[in-house]
Structure 1
Amino acid sequence: MARRVVTVFGGSGFIGRTLVRRLAAQGWVVRAAVRDPIAAEFLKPMGDVGQVTPLRADITDPKAVAAAVAGADAVVNLVGILYESGRRSFDAVHVKGAANVAAAAKAAGVARLVHMSALGADKNSESLYAQSKAAGEEAVLAAFPGATIFRPSVVFGPDDDFFNRFGKMAMISPVLPVFTGDGFKPVCTEHGCSIDLFGSGGPTFQPIHVGDVSGAIAKVLDDSRLAGKVYELGGPRRYSMKEIMELVLATTGQRSHLVPVPFGLGMLQATFLQMLPKPMLTKDQVRLMKVDNVVRGGKPGLADLGITPVAAETVLPLYMKRYGKHNQPDADAAA
């Protein structure tokens, strides 16, 4: 019996490497389509000899994409960017690149296509990122009507760029920001008046573990009855941004102070921070945070795939301890 072949665009990324390992364990022959196959050599030991192969393919190059999907039984597109840089714009990657993958998969007779979008996808959003994700979904479905779309909330795991970022900040900064749109309001009771600095605690997130995301994709690839739908993926609990920061402090043992930041001030900070080679914050990201990043309902989710989501509290201590006090440079020097 011939082994099934899957091409995973973005196979060396955060979600990609977890998915590649899972699919290889399930017997798939995996082509990891990446921009730098040499840097993706670490994927090879995830399968038997010759089972996992990194290959060069930029999704903005239609010819490279077509070569990468030729002869594949399934295709997964995980490629996405959080900020624009040079020619790698939201439109080039999330829309045109996604359309390239979908069109090539259809032309090659691929049986199943999975496309990674995001919960914030909305053509009417203030955020260009969210607009491009929505346009990408439309482009994919226009080229490959039977495609499966996944919209996850923020994804967490040992290599994430969410909790890890705040963990690093907690190590070096005495404060952690909490963006808020309804803070700094006077609150009066029979006992007197005060200022509610944080309001509702800022934007709300529903973090989902990377293992649950890869598990969801693998299930769809294995069962044709699950394909061709739009899935919204979120973890078992919703957290305000304030609660996210409190969780970071609880799992690292750091004592940074939480500081409320109005969105207007956040936009001003982002004006300068987005000029960095790898921006810490962009104005578009601030716009994106004005809308809660949670499952809305009305779409199938993890429960429909038979997956019980992992809670952040059970996993974060396993990798956030690296940002604990005992790992700070000054503590090591004094020892």
Structure 2
Amino acid sequence: MDRFSPKLVTVFGGSGFVGTHLAQVLARAGYRVRIAVRRPDLAGDAKMLGGVGQIVPIQANIRNDASVQRAVAGADVVINLVGLGYEGGKQTFAAVNTDGAAAIARAAKAAGVSALVHVSALGVDLAAEVSDYAASKLAGEQAVLEAFPQAVILRPSLMFGHGDGFFNKMGFLARMLPVMPVISGASRFQPVHVGDVAEAILAAAEGKVKTGRVYELGGPTVETHKDLLARVLREAGRKR
């Protein structure tokens, strides 16, 4: 392990879209990476994103304090990417987006980690009164800062890049469906590349931004849903 930094980063939810890109960024920077997920047996591919032994998936359930504490033990930095978009069974917005985020922050503080980066979502403060999802994310941010005042909160806009669910799904539909509907075509987005988000997370983890603050992340252009659909259709080789 002498080829790698002695610093260890625990990433909760590190086997998903953002986590896959982040693991590569952290590995290239020389960090050891611990991927904390509910099913580490399904995260074996993450090991291939770094050198031998550099990235290790471990079991963790953010609804279980003991497993969260084990996941952060010995870590220098903790990053939380976990976010629930749809409720089901015990996986509720409050349990995951609020209570789970708080549990990670408390465990990180108790373990004495040097930095905590919590990834939320753009606009949750504006939509909290009309969306249970947004309300749970905003409450999660507040709980994180209460438990770990030096945490950095990042709110990325709609993300795109290799493996993204939004653009890839739209591209598939564009190829399969004869007509592509546009719902709320005037809705505006500021899409940001997942690689840029991963680099922003790294910067926060390395103390290159002021702590205890919320940062909003967006790309260089503002587009409507109609604009995004047109771009996907072009990439998919379809005419509108």
Instruction: Pick closer, same or farther for the CA change 1:62–1:169 going to 2, 3 Å.
Output: same
| 2:189 is the counterpart of 1:205 | yes
1:15 touches 1:78 (CA, 8 Å); kept in 2? yes
Once the two structures are TM-superposed, the CA of residue 224 in structure 1 deviates from its matched residue by 5.0
For the residue of structure 2 that corresponds to 1:164, the secondary structure is helix
1:232 is matched with: 216
1:33 touches 1:57 (CA, 8 Å); kept in 2? yes
Report sequence identity in percent: 51
Distance 1:76 1:213 in 2: 13
1:34 touches 1:57 (CA, 8 Å); kept in 2? yes
Aligned length: 236
CA RMSD of aligned residues (A): 1.5
Amino acid at match of 2:163: D
For the residue of structure 2 that corresponds to 1:67, the secondary structure is helix
TM-score scaled by structure 2?
A: 0.94
The higher radius of gyration belongs to 1
TM-score scaled by structure 1?
A: 0.68
- For structure 1, which runs of at least 5 residues remain unmatched after alignment? 181-200, 257-335
Distance 1:250 1:221 in 2: 37
Instruction: Pick closer, same or farther for the CA change 1:225–1:248 going to 2, 3 Å.
Output: closer
1:14 is matched with: 17
Given the alignment, which residue of 185, 198, 214 partners 1:214? 198
Distance 2:201 2:159 in 1: 14
- For structure 2, which runs of at least 5 residues remain unmatched after alignment? none
State which drifts further: 132-141 or 81-90: 81-90
2:160 touches 2:166 (CA, 8 Å); kept in 1? yes
2:145 touches 2:212 (CA, 8 Å); kept in 1? no
Given the alignment, which residue of 92, 96, 102 partners 2:95? 92
State which drifts further: 119-128 or 214-223: 119-128
2:28 touches 2:50 (CA, 8 Å); kept in 1? yes
1:161 is matched with: 165
Amino acid at match of 1:179: I
Summarize the alignment of residues 14-163 of structure 1 with structure 2, pairs less than 5 Å apart.
14-122=17-125, 124-163=128-167
Instruction: Pick closer, same or farther for the CA change 1:203–1:225 going to 2, 3 Å.
Output: closer
Summarize the alignment of residues 281-300 of structure 1 with structure 2, pairs less than 5 Å apart.
none
Once the two structures are TM-superposed, the CA of residue 44 in structure 1 deviates from its matched residue by 1.2
